[in-house]
Amino acid sequence: MSDSPLSQSRILVIGAGAIGSFYGAALQAQGANVSVVCRSEYDIVRSAGFSIESNRLGDRTFVPAQTLRSVTDYAGGPPDYLIVSVKVVEGTDRVALIRDAVGPETVIVLIENGVEIEGEIADAFPDNELISALAFVQVSRIAPGKVRHYAFGDLTFGNYPSGVTDRARKLAAMFEKSGIKITLADNVVTARWQKCLWNAVFNPASVMGGVLDTDDMLNAEEGESFVRRAMREVCDVAAATGHPLPPQLIDQYIDGTRKAPPYKTSMALDYENGRPMETEIILGNAVRAGRREKVAIPLLETLYALMKMVERKTAKATKQE
Amino acid sequence: MSDSPLSQSRILVIGAGAIGSFYGAALQAQGANVSVVCRSEYDIVRSAGFSIESNRLGDRTFVPAQTLRSVTDYAGGPPDYLIVSVKVVEGTDRVALIRDAVGPETVIVLIENGVEIEGEIADAFPDNELISALAFVQVSRIAPGKVRHYAFGDLTFGNYPSGVTDRARKLAAMFEKSGIKITLADNVVTARWQKCLWNAVFNPASVMGGVLDTDDMLNAEEGESFVRRAMREVCDVAAATGHPLPPQLIDQYIDGTRKAPPYKTSMALDYENGRPMETEIILGNAVRAGRREKVAIPLLETLYALMKMVERKTAKATKQE
């Protein structure tokens, strides 16, 4: 990567759904050269760009520098930053998706959910700098090429496996100028486990019995007690992998969830809308880490087995359509 | 109870739904004096009796000797046998339902699902003989006063807490004459735990994620392994309560379930049709027994907590209707 100011950086977004286009637009607004790979909505984005509605950041149209069907069409040499914001569901091969766009100096930036999602990319591209980012944002695709930003927008990121490089700081500065609050994490893996502590419990539980909202889950007889015990298992796994979590975090999450009006998790919304769920990166990776580290996680194991049953059922239903 | 032949016995069925009317009809066909308490379908049963369709036992009309709205209307003195076949769901008070019909010589016969369902009745009526019966039958109410018998029909029963009395043998003989196969169990509590081994796992799991059939549950990745571990927990609880189960039973149940075409559990059917589920007697009682006996049952605890979440959701939905 050149030492040019980031405003001249070449940025390629792979997986330009709601998340990818939202953050890509923010960077382009600061002058970066932002291109996108989008497959299903290629035609409409190519002709009109993305229309992004946001009360907080203002409505805008984001016309990418290059709109591509495939990374192999990307012109002008490898990108400085390759932002990967594909939803990781059953069958997603991220390495194959990005391989052709990774140059020797390309910084790979993962803006994705879940835990232990970096190892596969780090192994495939050992000489590239890797930034791991967690998005705290409520943003949805509301129509082809149309994205609505409802709330938040903050990113927490740092380099994988740890530290914060100058290139990460440059990226942070650019986001900050756009009004996106950035928390730089010296240990982003710990930050992932912190987010996972809520997600790995509430997300799968919310898919059981139709879909459940946070009130159903916390206020049912046995509900809070179960949530706490399952969260303790996540803490045990995180600690075993070298990422102990603050002991008060469970209380904080439960209090925070109670204080918010009842709501549905992202997995519940995916399930309701017939979309694939991020079971593997949110829960499966935590379960695999627990097994690898020989931590007893019977509650998480149960949630995971039930999720695989649900996914088997939805996969059959999809095949029949 | 007099020592008259059972064909002259006075039998009162409380909870004359599909199960109660099916078995009541069988006893009446052998000459017993069978009356029923039925509340929601009182008018139609009073005027036309029950219409029972059965390929195996033949179609028949069952006009009870007395059709009653309440046990207090039962004329002619207390019954010899009081058959209790009410569905035990949240809020069911069986003791209050039957108290006025229990005379000093009345044999109480429970034809119900679940484990540890007898103690409450034995405590309330310590001087009455108590028979505990498990129905292996596929029978449904298809319209008011109309019952369809699809398959099976066998009963396993014995006295609670153990043994088989002459009165139990008399009842068995009468059922057998009607073509109902009876297995007399010296230890009916063990028999309940055997049935629970399947029910306490497959029933609640089947309610997760819409409803799951046996194929979804057994053939999902992690599915069979989860089912086996959860069944082992049921075995541990049963053993701790003094009812060790045959070690090969888990294999037998899994093989049997695999060999049958995929099907939905009774709890899944209740859930789909918006009916209350027998969570407490099928799973809750097993969980409480495990807690009492200090057996580690994290998989069953998880299923139970999730079921209570689902029930909280369905209770709210019912209130809104």
Residues A199 and A169 in one domain: no
Kindly determine whether residue B209 and residue A212, on different chains, have CB atoms separated by under 8 Å: no
Residues B249 and B288 in one domain: yes
Q: For residues A149 and A231, what is the distance between their CA atoms, to the nearest angstrom?
A: 29
Please report the pLDDT score of residue B2 as a whole number: 44
Residues B35 and B174 in one domain: yes
Please report the pLDDT score of residue A92 as a whole number: 87
CB contact, 8 Å: A238 with chain B? Answer: no
Mind telling me how many Å the CA of A258 is from chain B's nearest CA? 15
Asked if residue B321 is part of any domain, the answer here is no
pTM assigned to the model: 0.92
Asked if residue A140 is part of any domain, the answer here is yes
Q: For residues A319 and B260, what is the distance between their CA atoms, to the nearest angstrom?
A: 23
DSSP string, A275-296: ----HIIIIIHHHHHHHHTT--
Confirm if A317 and B210 have CB atoms less than 8 A apart. no
Residues A36 and A180 in one domain: yes
Q: For residues B167 and B178, what is the distance between their CA atoms, to the nearest angstrom?
A: 17
Residues B170 and B195 in one domain: no
Percent of residues in chain A assigned helix, strand, coil, to nearest 5 = 45, 20, 35
Q: Residues in chain B, how many? A: 321
Residues A175 and A220 in one domain: no
List beta partners, residue A140.
A148
Which residues, including other chains, have CB under 8 Å from residue B87's CB and lie 6 or more apart? B15, B17, B112, B276, B278
pLDDT category at A3 given cuts 50, 70, 90 is: very low
Residues A90 and A34 in one domain: yes
CA triple B98-B111-B205, angle to 5 deg: 115
Residues B76, B77, B78, B80, Cα dihedral to 10°: -70
Pairing of strands B50-54, B60-62: antiparallel
Residue A266 carries which side chain, given as an amino acid letter?
S
Asked if residue B231 is part of any domain, the answer here is yes
pLDDT along chain B (321 residues), means of 10: 64 93 95 93 95 91 96 95 91 93 97 96 98 94 93 95 97 94 97 97 94 96 98 98 96 95 92 93 98 98 98 85 54
Question: End of a domain among A132, A166, A186?
Answer: A186
Q: Please give the residue range of the domain that contains residue A297.
A: 190-315
Confirm if A227 and A258 have CB atoms less than 8 A apart. no
Residues A146 and A212 in one domain: no
Tokens, residue A130:
């890797």
Backbone angles phi and psi of B214, in degrees to 5? -65, -30
Instruction: Report the sign of the C-alpha dihedral through residues B304, B308, B310, B314, in that order.
Output: positive
Q: Cβ contacts (< 8 Å) between B299 and chain A: which residues?
A: 298, 301-302
Asked if residue B63 is part of any domain, the answer here is yes
Residue B125 carries which side chain, given as an amino acid letter?
F
Please report the pLDDT score of residue B320 as a whole number: 64
Confirm if B67 and B46 have CB atoms less than 8 A apart. yes
| Residue of chain B nearest A315, judged by CA positions | B216
Mean pLDDT, range A28-39, rounded to an integer: 93
Q: For residues A30 and A7, what is the distance between their CA atoms, to the nearest angstrom?
A: 6
Mind telling me how many Å the CA of A229 is from chain B's nearest CA? 10
Q: For residues A114 and A196, what is the distance between their CA atoms, to the nearest angstrom?
A: 6
Q: Which residue has the tokens 């007399």?
A: B184
Residues A221 and A126 in one domain: no
Q: Cβ contacts (< 8 Å) between B308 and chain A: which residues?
A: 220-223
Q: For residues A151 and B236, what is the distance between their CA atoms, to the nearest angstrom?
A: 49
Asked if residue B320 is part of any domain, the answer here is no
Question: Domain of B221: which CATH number?
Answer: 1.10.1040.10
Asked if residue B58 is part of any domain, the answer here is yes
Mean pLDDT, range A197-211, rounded to an integer: 95
Asked if residue B182 is part of any domain, the answer here is yes
List beta partners, residue A134.
A156
Mind telling me how many Å the CA of B230 is from chain A's nearest CA? 9
Q: For residues A30 and A10, what is the distance between their CA atoms, to the nearest angstrom?
A: 12
pLDDT category at A55 given cuts 50, 70, 90 is: confident
Report whether the peptide linkage leading into residue B78 is cis, meaning its omega lies within 30 degrees of zero. Answer: no
Asked if residue A321 is part of any domain, the answer here is no
Question: End of a domain among B166, B186, B206?
Answer: B186
Residues B160 and B250 in one domain: no
Please report the pLDDT score of residue A2 as a whole number: 44
Q: Of B207, B257, B264, B261, give the one whose Cα is nearest residue B228.
A: B257
CB contact, 8 Å: A286 with chain B? Answer: no
Query: DSSP label at A244?
Result: P
Q: Which of residues 201-230 of B touch A (CB under 8 A)?
A: 205, 207-210, 212-213, 215-217, 219-223, 225-226, 229-230
What is the average pLDDT value for chain A, to the nearest integer?
94
Mind telling me how many Å the CA of B260 is from chain A's nearest CA? 18
Residues B91 and B215 in one domain: no
Backbone angles phi and psi of B155, in degrees to 5? -120, 140
Q: Of A286, A307, A293, A82, give the one whose Cα is nearest residue A192.
A: A286
Q: For residues A46 and A38, what is the distance between their CA atoms, to the nearest angstrom?
A: 9
Number of domains in chain B: 2
What stretches of chain B show up as alpha helix (H) in DSSP? Answer: 18-29, 42-48, 94-98, 119-124, 166-177, 188-205, 214-219, 223-240, 249-259, 266-272, 279, 285-292, 298-320
Question: End of a domain among A163, A186, A209?
Answer: A186
Residues B77, B78, B82, B86, Cα dihedral to 10°: 80
Kindly determine whether residue A217 and residue B298, on different chains, have CB atoms separated by under 8 Å: no
Q: For residues B301 and A226, what is the distance between their CA atoms, to the nearest angstrom?
A: 8
Confirm if A188 and A156 have CB atoms less than 8 A apart. yes
Question: Domain of A99: which CATH number?
Answer: 3.40.50.720
CB contact, 8 Å: A315 with chain B? Answer: no
Mean pLDDT, range A251-274, rounded to an integer: 94
Mind telling me how many Å the CA of A302 is from chain B's nearest CA? 6
* Residue A106 CA, distance from chain mean position: 20
| Residue of chain B nearest A305, judged by CA positions | B222
Q: Which residue has the tokens 């009130």?
A: A215
Residues B209 and B290 in one domain: yes
Closest by Cβ to B217, choosing from A205, A309, A314: A309
